[in-house]
Amino acid sequence: MTYEQYSSRRLAVSGALAERGCDAVLVTAPVNVRYLTGFTGSNGAVLLTRDSVSLATDGRYDEQAQRETGLTPTITRALLRTLVTDARTSGARSLAIERDHVTLAHFEAIADAAEGELTLTPCAGLVENERMRKDETELGCLRRAAAIADAAFTAVKQTVSPGMTERELADALEEAMRRGGADAPAFATIVAAGVNGAEPHHQPTSYALALGDLVTVDMGARVDGYHSDMTRTFAVGPVDDWQRELYGLVDAAQRAGCAAVVAGAGTAEVDAAARAVIENAGHGEHFVHGVGHGVGLQIHESPMLFGASEVVLADGMVVTVEPGIYVPGRGGIRIEDTLIVSADAPEVITRAARGL
């Protein structure tokens, strides 16, 4: 990423700011600070007016902030107070704040520094909406992260045998991703075997894989801040008829969902396409979550793909499609891929082999 790329992102957000009738925005979510400036420290905030940018951080990050952003940061221990005062003295009248990220304590500090001269406007999605469509640099990171997880899954799956615990399998997958070049796992790897598969986000335990179990692995790698996300379900040993039948159903639902991913389609339509396959087979009550989500600097980000979502898919968005069936007391199946949206068929970037 170049300083110019960050600068053009800020320009886009400034444009959105004007549309909402605000003169400036105070960006406090670390992931949004990073998106707009490149700063990766744990304590930073950005004030964006329609034609200027100020970054504030504390003394630990002075050098790092300059190197990463090309900006001269204001070094202070009172980040919000300093930036809000800057906004006020610059003549701004209306300051947008990130309603999804500001704590009550932060809000009190902001309101105090506004001294009644600034109208505070809580806004949702100002930066998140810009983050939905990825540029080529971001797509490169996302493809690399997905390829690392693919390779780790493929290698470690060869070593799975009865007696291995969920935790051992999760550890092996995470170790393989690190060796393969991941900065870290994208999230705590999910391994759910046998009846544990009925919990969509089961955390690995000392349960030992047994012959006849289905194992659901949900994993991803993080590369340069970008995450990958993939789920595969496979069998240990022989497969029962009920397992084969439900697997076929989830597989068909997942393919139907992927086929609905195209620029111009509603996110709710993707959910509906996958869900219809499962509902028509009588398992609607066992598909307990939305069909997918955006992936980028966060593992779960806009757009969310579920029934009530109103976002329309656009070129360059990166989303997952991950229907599942979870039967209490029996087990579960989920298949998840990450796709890059385009006007044609989406590019599927998670490529590890699927199938029982």
- Which residues here bind Zn ion, judged by CB under 5 A? 218, 229, 231, 320, 336
The residue written with tokens 């800057």 in the block is 86
Give helix 104-114 / helix 79-89 axis angle, nearest 10°.
Answer: 30
Q: How far apart are CA 315 and CA 222, in angstroms?
A: 23
Of the pair 28, 302, the CB lying nearest Zn ion is at 302
In the complex, what is the shortest distance from the CB of residue 301 to Zn ion, in angstroms, rounded to a whole number? 11
Of the pair 69, 231, the CB lying nearest Zn ion is at 231
Alpha helices in 77-135 (DSSP H): 79-89, 104-114, 128-131
Q: What residues have CB less than 8 Å from 105, skipping those under 6 apart?
A: none
In the complex, what is the shortest distance from the CB of residue 329 to Zn ion, in angstroms, rounded to a whole number? 23
Q: How far apart are CA 25 and CA 293, in angstroms?
A: 26
Q: Is the dihedral of CA 12, 338, 42, 94 positive or negative?
A: positive
Instruction: Read off the amino acid at residue 127.
Output: V
Of the pair 14, 231, the CB lying nearest Zn ion is at 231
Of the pair 231, 298, the CB lying nearest Zn ion is at 231
At 306, give phi and psi (nearest 5°).
-150, 175
Of the pair 174, 218, the CB lying nearest Zn ion is at 218
Q: Is the peptide bond before 303 cis (omega within 30 degrees of 0)?
A: yes
C-beta separation of 53 from 46 below 8 A: yes
Of the pair 47, 325, the CB lying nearest Zn ion is at 325
Of the pair 150, 229, the CB lying nearest Zn ion is at 229
Of the pair 128, 336, the CB lying nearest Zn ion is at 336
In eight-state DSSP terms, residue 168 is H
In the complex, what is the shortest distance from the CB of residue 322 to Zn ion, in angstroms, rounded to a whole number? 5
In the complex, what is the shortest distance from the CB of residue 220 to Zn ion, in angstroms, rounded to a whole number? 6
What count of other Cβ atoms lies within 10 Å of the Cβ of residue 28?
Answer: 20
In the complex, what is the shortest distance from the CB of residue 231 to Zn ion, in angstroms, rounded to a whole number? 5
b/e sequence 220-238, b meaning 16+ C-beta within 10 Å:
bbbbebbbbbbbbbbbbee
Residue 219 in 3-state DSSP? strand
- Of 322, 292, 316, the residue nearest 306 (C-alpha): 292
In the complex, what is the shortest distance from the CB of residue 320 to Zn ion, in angstroms, rounded to a whole number? 4
In the complex, what is the shortest distance from the CB of residue 194 to Zn ion, in angstroms, rounded to a whole number? 19
Of the pair 107, 187, the CB lying nearest Zn ion is at 187
In the complex, what is the shortest distance from the CB of residue 243 to Zn ion, in angstroms, rounded to a whole number? 21
b/e sequence 94-113, b meaning 16+ C-beta within 10 Å:
bbbbbeebbeeebeebbeeb
In the complex, what is the shortest distance from the CB of residue 292 to Zn ion, in angstroms, rounded to a whole number? 7
Element (H, E) at 18: helix 3-19
In eight-state DSSP terms, residue 313 is P
